[in-house]
Chain A
Amino acid sequence: AQSVTQLGSHVSVSEGALVLLRCNYSSSVPPYLFWYVQYPNQGLQLLLKYTTGATLVKGINGFEAEFKKSETSFHLTKPSAHMSDAAEYFCAVNGRFGNEKLTFGTGTRLTIIP
């Protein structure tokens, strides 16, 4: 069984400031972890994913995330926020060894303050 907790349903940051969106997971097996972004009235788009290897993962649009097994976390960061980053962000997990279903967090809506 697995679950995802995203701390903060709404996050506001100023343009140019650090973006930090938090994700903690629970999984009984080594996880695969994903961050998706959803712009208004659109489907979800993959930002980045962690499968194996390097724990710091770089994605599109300047985002990155670090897998920390000891903290069961996969927080998403971006050094400098841009107005175009305003969207909803979802963390998701699935277990290895044949589990093809994703479990999603409830999402974090990111607002950028000019």
Chain B
Amino acid sequence: DAGITQSPRHKVTETGTPVTLRCHQTENHRYMYWYRQDPGHGLRLIHYSYGVKDTDKGEVSDGYSVSRSKTEDFLLTLESATSSQTSVYFCAISPGLAGHEQFFGPGTRLTVL
């Protein structure tokens, strides 16, 4: 299995509080991604990174920010959590080579009350 960990694995928080999710990889892959998974929507890309300090928005980036200060870590921050951000969040990594798949972490279940 690709070396990807996510922390925390479960979190319950209140509306308006900041939340940071961490993704850590040991594969030295260039690309890292954050997705959210919701019933009926599949996986939707929030943000991705193509190198240290290089990030770009995905299709559902509003309300989220990311940072990547080291190759192995990619942080997702909800500046002020809302109930609509209750979801399961997955991190993925990829070497970014043509035709190469992405490898997924175990996910973080976030509940915003």
Contact = CB atoms under 8 A, between A and B. Distances in A.
Contacts, number: 51
A100 B50 contact: yes
Given A100-B31, A100-B50, A104-B42, A42 B94 contact: no
B101 A49 contact: yes
Interface stretch (B13-21, B61-69, B72-80, B104-112): B104-112
Q: Chain B: interface residue count, which band?
A: 20 to 34
Question: Which interface residue of B42, B58, B104 has the most chain A CB atoms within 10 A?
Answer: B42
Contacts of A105: 42
Contact of B104 (A32, A45, A49, A96): A45
Contact of B45 (A32, A45, A101): A101
B101 to A, nearest CB: 5
Interface of B: 4, 31, 33, 40-45, 48, 50, 58, 90, 92, 94, 96, 98-99, 101-107
24 contacts: A9-B40, A42-B106, A43-B4, A43-B104, A43-B105, A43-B106, A44-B92, A44-B104, A46-B101, A46-B103, A49-B99, A51-B98, A51-B99, A97-B98, A98-B98, A100-B48, A100-B50, A100-B94, A101-B33, A101-B45, A101-B48, A101-B58, A106-B41, A107-B42
